[in-house]
Structure 1
């Protein structure tokens, strides 16, 4: 009978196998090893691993791959309930300290003034907890003590249908409250901010420029309070202020409007040197053709003119989107000339009261790698039709009209030929496309009185 040969194992090998077979194996692993293991697990598996022991749970919770699952958090400001729940989650050892992008959803009215002060304090404490976690290096791994850079997005709840036009001021009041809560909490916590989105994308919503001015006044009057800012991305939608008594000179006079536009320009001037991505949208809250605009409202509508006249330099700006503004060719061209690093340019719903887009288009063709122009106007209301493949937004009387938008991607395509355009030669024909286009414009750029523009029947 052949003799069985036993495979020899060293003493150290037997000790390793014994350790791996024991219940304390994961507890003995260095933090770096556990972090590497967690990087291969999904959230459910990583959560199950935390059940092994308290020591393992603590190590898993500090692994960057595990914390990445908690980088984004959405909180509704319709009530204060979710803020009350969020605060304890940012205490030491809790996953809420990993949040790096906070999205706050505004309500449809400022019904909650009684808890606005409480909301500011709750959010401030949460932000300070998050900032302190970065100072201590929690979840950063050994040898890397980065200070967390934060992103804040303000938006409204999504809607499939247009809200009632008569309710627009309630929506604006809710947006104003959300901005005040966020801005005050951020101002007091001094959290390093990398990206800020203030109602830049949602339909049927914008921020009253008077509220923006009054809320950010502390920042622009004491620039030292912004030393902790590291703002690289800014998306901001502003509108006319919500009017009250139009006979009130303090609210509706020219001085009030100028204070609003000046504060906005001062704010941009404080952050322009670090910006890499800028998205600005103007929302027309009042119809100038039917409402008698006050001096303040007329001044506010010249917001981009005031910005262009300040001639701020944007040395790092690579991506720029301008939407909904009423300005002139000279101011727009001057603004773009101060963006030497610009690579991507989007212009949508821009109305030039004087001048043309010719020099602007030529400048863009010579400098950027991506361009998108859509629904542009000269002499305020003469829509441009681009010499490019495609169809217009809606039918007009004369045949063979070109599209109202043009997109070029890549330096070679952008520089291939000039951007050429013409104007409409026939009358607009009533059609479903035309009515849908009016409603789309009103949703993104106002006025609210056209939100419920009748659909074609």
Structure 2
């Protein structure tokens, strides 16, 4: 009587692939341990599909180290095409170790992936518990408490995440084809005035040279209203911000699709997004 191993090894490749597609990843990994032959024959589309998409928190040294290991030469992480990098609210300060590891992982993708690039890169912000309820603070108004989002810390996390990712991209030279900057999340935007320091201090020409699609959620953020300051000064700031966005777009000669979402944020304490 034929053993289960020999029966599996004699299955036509299309039937084996169909069976593998029905299995969760841990079971596929167990199947691959049966023999070298099965490991090779089960490494087709269904199995590889688990490694095309990945989301990581850049603030986690453990996740960044895992991403570095995942993307080394010969590893299945070299199949990665859709990468999501997540910032955390409230911010925990810059971690030089995490940033260095993120840069190393992007270098690995440039050197080891099939095309030397990734199909898409998305930036998100999440709460410490991983949910979209990024940060809520309780404020007493009269007799009853009211829960409100502390949007300033959300904006701060977005700005920090954008700066860290741009730094890693500039250092690694990893090209991307699609870029999503916080457009996939509600109540979170990048302040337009965050572009100037990035563009002045980093060279993003290589990462953006083949970009074909970009989605941006932007706001013009005025942190504090000074009543002795003229409104014209805020208009000038808005003009500079628009010019900075133009500078960013000028780095994308292949851009075909641009999605912009705008959010108005005021500086008064009573305002919330």
Settle same-fold status: TM greater than 0.5: yes
Q: Is the Cα contact below 8 Å between 1:108 and 1:172 reproduced in 2?
A: no
Aligned match of 1:80 = 61
Q: Structure 2 matches for 1:61-140, cutoff 5 A?
A: 61=43, 63-113=44-94, 115=95, 117-135=96-114
Quote the RMSD (CA, aligned, Å): 3.8
Aligned match of 1:159 = 132
Shift in Å at residue 200 of structure 1? 0.8
Aligned equivalents of 1:39 and 1:279: distance in 2?
38
Q: Structure 2 matches for 1:311-322, cutoff 5 A?
A: none
Aligned equivalents of 1:174 and 1:130: distance in 2?
25
Q: Tell me: CA distance 1:227–1:70, structure 2 relative to 1, closer, same or farther (3 Å).
A: closer
Aligned equivalents of 2:246 and 2:121: distance in 1?
21
Q: Deviations over 1:12-38 (max 9, x none)?
A: xxxxxx9x9986995x99xxx868843
Shift in Å at residue 151 of structure 1? 0.8
Shift in Å at residue 128 of structure 1? 2.0
Aligned equivalents of 1:92 and 1:83: distance in 2?
16
Aligned equivalents of 1:25 and 1:187: distance in 2?
47
1:232 to 185, 206, 212: 212
Shift in Å at residue 179 of structure 1? 1.0
Aligned match of 2:144 = none
Shift in Å at residue 227 of structure 1? 7.0
Q: Structure 2 matches for 1:237-316, cutoff 5 A?
A: 237-241=217-221, 243=223, 257-271=238-252, 273-286=253-266
* Higher RCO (CA 8 Å, separation ≥ 6 residues): 2
Q: Tell me: CA distance 1:40–1:213, structure 2 relative to 1, closer, same or farther (3 Å).
A: farther
Q: Is the strand fraction higher in 1 or 2? A: 2
Shift in Å at residue 280 of structure 1? 0.4
Q: Structure 2 matches for 1:351-430, cutoff 5 A?
A: none
Aligned equivalents of 1:133 and 1:56: distance in 2?
25
State the secondary structure of the residue aligned to 2:221. coil
State the secondary structure of the residue aligned to 2:86. strand
Aligned length: 252
1:193 to 169, 176, 181: 176
2:109 equivalent to 1:150:
no
2:185 equivalent to 1:202:
yes
Q: Is the Cα contact below 8 Å between 2:174 and 2:207 reproduced in 1?
A: no
Q: Is the Cα contact below 8 Å between 1:208 and 1:241 reproduced in 2?
A: yes
- Structure 2, gaps ≥5 residues long: 138-147
Shift in Å at residue 206 of structure 1? 0.9
Q: Deviations over 1:371-426 (max 9, x none)?
A: xxxxxxxxxxxxxxxxxxxxxxxxxxxxxxxxxxxxxxxxxxxxxxxxxxxxxxxx
Aligned match of 1:352 = none
Shift in Å at residue 156 of structure 1? 2.2
2:152 to 169, 194, 197: 169
**TM-score, normalization: structure 2?**
0.74
State the secondary structure of the residue aligned to 1:449. coil
**TM-score, normalization: structure 1?**
0.47
